[in-house]
Structure 1
Amino acid sequence: MQTTDLLQQIEFIKEIDKLKYIQRKTKLFNSDRNENDAEHSWHLAVMAIILSQHANAEVDVLKVVKMVLIHDIVEIDAGDTFIYDAIKNHTNTDEERLAAERIFGMLPRQQADELIAIWEEFEAGETNEAKFAKSMDRLEPLLQNTSNQGGTWKEFGVGYEKVYEKKKAIKNGSETIWAYAEKLIEDSVTNGILKKESEI
């Protein structure tokens, strides 16, 4: 039985290597190279460990780390959906559900069920852990875009209003981090790297 589990786990480990090939729209800090999903997930995991003291409520940091490490694995099949996409919904797509069942389903049943449940919890965004994990997910690209003089905001013509609307979810996980993030957004407008809709 253990041998069977190991073989399934190794196949899953090989499969998720594909996450390294999923390119995100956001670029690395002070860079013109696009970030991939694996880099993004790793960065969020470290951020969650470092910034957990700022969560609105006490969180199980290990659970948050699990969430951010696996939350984008579904993009191996479903692809990365740009958060500012005006046509395709960024969350809870049928493609992502099928991907979760296929990819996590490669694992032994108990592990598969655990990871699907963690993925679902992240997507629902209702627990303290999920709220904080989503705060990390929204914060990282904000930091990247401000380091890149507007980055994807400028590249795709995304205005202040859309950025503010998407980023305010940070507050659900951390009011402290949201205060910092909100100032970054306002400073971006002042510095001319983020424009009001009427200015685009």
Structure 2
Amino acid sequence: MEKSRLIQQLEFIKEIDKLKYIQRRTRLLNSDRHENDAEHSWHLAMMTIVLAEHSNKPIDVLKVLKMVLIHDIVEIDAGDTFIYDTAKSHDNTDEELIAAKRIFGMLPDEQAAEFIAIWTEFEEGISDEAKFARSMDRLEPLLQNTSNDGGTWREFDVPYERVYDKKKVIKNGSESIWRYAEELIDKSVEMGMLKKIE
């Protein structure tokens, strides 16, 4: 017997509860507790609503919200890859695409296709919406690390140059937010939270 549309959707809803168990390396602002992927996605959604006016180009906010809420769901299967990992590339999209097809594939066909398309658009980072969504994704951990005396930068001895290189994507979505982020990064060097390679 074919599953009803509602049952498919509810099974997906139950499956994505697993996102709450995926721990990230970053810690909550001013905290020792690690953030989970669901908290990260919620925070990006709120940041999008509040900061959308700072986008370089007019954006479809609902589309950006969909991107930031679903972009890490693939980590239920693929796991979270630390952005500064030197052994494994953060762009593990082959592994993540398999996860996207399985997890989003639980939904009715047209919803599954929409979610995979939105996830792919975020990963490619070409559209104005994807650029802004990726800006939010890179800004949040920056705010966390600067609130935690360097956080994961200190813990994993991440140099200024790698942080700057990973964060400069913020500029693609918002020049004004990038100026603020750049100041935070520079201030982090001055305060000894980030070290430049000698």
Give the Cα separation in 2 of the matches to 1:123 and 1:92: 10
Secondary structure of the structure 1 residue equivalent to 2:24 = strand
Moved >2 Å (runs of 4+): none
For residue 92 of structure 1, report the CA deviation from its aligned partner.
4.1
Unaligned segments of structure 1, at least 5 residues: none
Give the Cα separation in 1 of the matches to 2:164 and 2:29: 20
Partner of 2:124: 124
- Are the counterparts in 2 of residues 92 and 123 from structure 1 also a CA contact under 8 Å? no
Secondary structure of the structure 1 residue equivalent to 2:195 = coil
Q: Deviations over 1:128-172 (max 9, x none)?
A: 000000000000000000000000000000010000000000000
Partner of 2:115: 115
For residue 89 of structure 1, report the CA deviation from its aligned partner.
1.3
Number of residue pairs matched? Answer: 198
Give the Cα separation in 1 of the matches to 2:87 and 2:64: 29
Partner of 1:151: 151
Unaligned segments of structure 2, at least 5 residues: none
Q: Percent identity?
A: 73
- Are the counterparts in 2 of residues 44 and 136 from structure 1 also a CA contact under 8 Å? yes
TM-score by length of 1: 0.97
Partner of 1:4: 4
- Are the counterparts in 2 of residues 60 and 129 from structure 1 also a CA contact under 8 Å? yes
Partner of 1:66: 66
Give the Cα separation in 1 of the matches to 2:169 and 2:54: 15
Please give the residue correspondences for 1:97-108 in structure 2 after superposition, counting only pairs within 5 Å.
Answer: 97-108=97-108
Counterpart residue identity of residue 73, structure 1:
I
Q: Which moved more, 1:7-16 or 1:85-94?
A: 85-94
Secondary structure of the structure 1 residue equivalent to 2:80 = coil
For residue 95 of structure 1, report the CA deviation from its aligned partner.
1.3
- Are the counterparts in 2 of residues 135 and 171 from structure 1 also a CA contact under 8 Å? yes
Give the Cα separation in 2 of the matches to 1:78 and 1:90: 11
CA RMSD of aligned residues (A): 1.3
Counterpart residue identity of residue 27, structure 1:
R
Give the Cα separation in 2 of the matches to 1:21 and 1:92: 20
Partner of 1:163: 163
For residue 71 of structure 1, report the CA deviation from its aligned partner.
0.1
Secondary structure of the structure 1 residue equivalent to 2:193 = coil
Give the Cα separation in 1 of the matches to 2:92 and 2:150: 28
